[in-house]
């Protein structure tokens, strides 16, 4: 299977993760013109599952190092399979909430609040489990990102339109961030993260773990998303009849969104073997900055707000960039 041999390439993979995780929300924005997020989310999950299988059968099966996908899946212990499945279920719940927050409040709010909070808590959780890197520099970087999140929340609260919806979007994004902070640890625990070349018996390679994780997402979606469809956060309930009435292009947008996120997830876990779980996860969740860029400059989600918001948003981007830079330095 394909593995990373040096830290520099691991950082490159984490930056690609950052772009993928920060950009998939654009597909939801594109589809939302005539498609509810609950319906979009089914196609998104299918896209994640399809890419995880493709990745496992190609990069996860070729080459002379590690274990190829099928033998690796067959020898995995039940506890490790359950851990990866649990990660998928937990992520699915948090990501549905994040999608709801995007639908209510936009990308430039949902990502910095939800994913930014997940970054902060997730770095702490993963560093405690597998300490790697300079803790002082790492947590200073995380602290700067926390301040950036606060500035984003202040700027959004300054927007005058629909205060009730803004409060609901912030609360949902906050809950999503807390849940999202812990999913990565479950996947990492199912792998032999210190030795991808000769993984411990019973543990999985990142390719197999990602596939099992995606299966957990897909299976849990039948319960979680069905409940959300029947009792939506906003608007009227939708049904599976509405889903199957969607056009091919609309479904394809959702699947493409899932593939984008899946690429980022696979590359991030491959990079974790060299960078460590805390740094790999923290850099990947720099997606908050990417999504905020899309929301502010492309989708114009802060248009019409007070001028002081420009200062808040400028400081937000500066602190995010500085914080991400410190996380990279901490691992080097």
pLDDT digits (tens, 9 = 90+) for 41-52: 999 999 999 999
Which residue carries 């299966």 as its tokens? Answer: 215
Q: What ranges do the domains of the chain cover?
A: 7-331
Mean pLDDT estimate for the chain: 90
Query: pTM score, two decimals?
Result: 0.88
Most confident of 118-122, 167-171, 315-319: 315-319
Residue 308 has pLDDT above 60, yes or no: yes
Which residue would you say has higher pLDDT here, 244 or 197?
244
Residue 159 has pLDDT above 80, yes or no: no
> Mean of the pLDDT values across residues 32-57?
95
Residue 33 has pLDDT above 90, yes or no: no
pLDDT digits (tens, 9 = 90+) for 161-186: 545 556 788 889 999 999 999 999 99
45: CB partners within 8 A, 6+ apart: 92, 217, 218, 221, 225, 258
Closest to 192 measured CA to CA, from 269, 301, 121, 267: 269
* 122 within 8 A of 181, measured Cβ to Cβ: yes
> Mean of the pLDDT values across residues 24-51?
93
Strand partners, 263: none
* 259 within 8 A of 314, measured Cβ to Cβ: no
Most confident of 171-185, 205-219, 271-285: 205-219
What is d(CA 80, CA 191) in angstroms, rounded to the nearest whole number? 8
């Amino acid at each position: 299977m394909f593995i990373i041999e040096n830290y520099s390439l691991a950082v490159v993979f984490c930056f690609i993760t950052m772009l993928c995780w920060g950009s998939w929300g654009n597909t939801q924005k594109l589809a939302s013109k005539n498609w509810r997020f609950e319906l979009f989310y089914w196609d998104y999950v299918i896209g994640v599952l399809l890419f995880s299988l493709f990745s496992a059968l190609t990069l996860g099966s070729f080459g002379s190092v590690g274990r190829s996908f099928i033998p690796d899946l067959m020898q995995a212990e039940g506890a490790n399979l359950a851990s990866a499945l649990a990660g998928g279920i937990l992520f699915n719940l948090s990501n549905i909430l994040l999608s709801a927050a995007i639908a209510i409040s936009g990308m430039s709010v949902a990502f910095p609040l939800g994913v930014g909070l997940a970054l902060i808590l997730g770095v702490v959780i993963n560093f405690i489990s597998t300490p790697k890197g300079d803790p002082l520099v790492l947590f200073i970087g995380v602290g700067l990102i926390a301040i950036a999140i606060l500035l984003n929340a202040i700027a959004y609260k300054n927007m005058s339109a629909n205060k009730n919806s803004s409060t609901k979007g912030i609360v949902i994004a906050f809950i999503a961030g807390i849940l999202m902070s812990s999913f990565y640890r479950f996947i990492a625990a199912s792998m032999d993260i210190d030795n991808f070349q000769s993984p411990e018996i019973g543990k999985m390679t990142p390719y197999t773990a990602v596939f099992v994780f995606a299966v957990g997402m897909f299976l849990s979606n039948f319960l979680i998303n069905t409940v959300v469809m029947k009792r939506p956060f906003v608007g009227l309930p939708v049904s599976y009849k509405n889903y199957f009435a969607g056009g091919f292009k609309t479904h394809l947008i959702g699947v493409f969104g899932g593939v984008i996120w899946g690429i980022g997830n696979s590359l991030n876990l491959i990079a974790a073997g060299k960078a460590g779980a805390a740094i790999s996860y923290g850099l990947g969740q720099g997606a908050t900055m990417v999504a905020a860029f899309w929301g502010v400059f492309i989708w114009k989600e802060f248009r019409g707000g007070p001028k002081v918001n420009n200062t808040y948003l400028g400081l937000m981007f500066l602190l995010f960039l500085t914080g991400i830079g410190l996380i990279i330095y901490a691992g080097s």
